[in-house]
Amino acid sequence: MEGAAFEPSRGRCVFVKKLAFVLLVLILAASAAGVLYTRVYEPYRGYGGVEQFIDIPAGVGTRAIGERLVAAGVIRDLLTYRLALWRSGVSRHLDAGEYRFDGPMTPVAVVTKLARGDVFVVPLTFREGLTIAEMSQVFEARGVGPASAFVAAAGDPSLVRAIDPAARDLEGYLFPETYQLPRHTDARRLVQMMVDRFERVWTAQLRQAAAERGLTTRQAVTLASIVEKETAQPEERPLVAAVYENRRRIGMGLQCDPTVIYALQHAGRYTGNLRRDDLAFDSPYNTYKYPGLPPGPIASPGKASLEAAVQPAANGYLYFVSRNDGTHVFASTLEEHSRNVQKFQVQYFRDRRMRANR
């Protein structure tokens, strides 16, 4: 009887122990879940140095991406990474590319960054009116690559053969704007991007407008490059284009200083100042010496200058001179132009010298 009385008590004891064990497991599981949940929203940084770059190749699975993030010290461990994917709901939308991390981030923020495709890029700006040589210096100065590599890549005319069979290089066809570049972009890839951008800007409508004026693409871009070098004022571009088109129409020499400067630069003879003797420099780009347009573009024109070249203003202007404030005054006759030169050049600099000598 004593043994029979003991059994229920023993059974209750076993039950209590099992219940306690289950409760302990649940408590531990809840605690672990709480820790993991906290980690998902807790900023973490496990790498040294100022920044960490991670390259995610195209086609890589989510697990491999997680392994790269963990190995780089951006996320603590794979379990935290998986939970972050689950919480964010973006596991199927992680984009390839190079990513930069420069401080603690929550795992959820990390995977969201990849889902947005917030890849690291280097902004590289080429302003309108630069030559290949000048663009190469910008390329090198921004740390993207050596200037020589850019010059070499820009020397491949095959990229524009379809629109300019006579091209000897890509002068004029590297469209000036800001390009968002991956960190390891090479010169050839950038040059292709710039040519592609030019071809999108040089629309069928602009090509048709050029053809209606009897201009090939090469001639239109050459004229646009001259307009770009002559003025930075948007409202003046159609006027400048009209001056050179009017001169061409009547067989008058273009007499354009920027074309002479371009010739001198290529010959290594430009000192920064255009002298009277330089106007006699023998080069097909010297529009004081040779009639008509020069053999090719002298810089990269922007969209406004391309549009002005094929849609110049309707006027009879043949001359213009600088007002020395970034704008120009235009004239239709030599007599009127001479008065403008006297006022805005001769008298202006005479007065300036007198003020300086007081």
Spans of the chain, pLDDT less than 70: 1-37
Residue 16's pLDDT is 56
Question: What's the pTM?
Answer: 0.81
Nearest to 357 by CA among 177, 338, 349: 349
Residue 9's pLDDT is 65
Nearest to 285 by CA among 168, 194, 148, 156: 168
Residue 28's pLDDT is 45
Where are the chain's structural domains? 52-116, 132-312, 318-358
Residue 350's pLDDT is 80
Is domain 318-358 classified as CATH 1.20.120? no
Task: Please tell me the total number of residues recorded for the chain in this structure.
Answer: 358
Residue 289's pLDDT is 95
Nearest to 128 by CA among 268, 234, 270: 234
Inter-axis angle of helices 303-310 and 237-250, to 10 degrees?
A: 40
Instruction: Identify the architecture of domain 52-116 in CATH.
Output: 2-Layer Sandwich (3.30)
Q: How far is residue 63's CA from residue 91's CA, in Å, rounded to a whole number?
A: 10
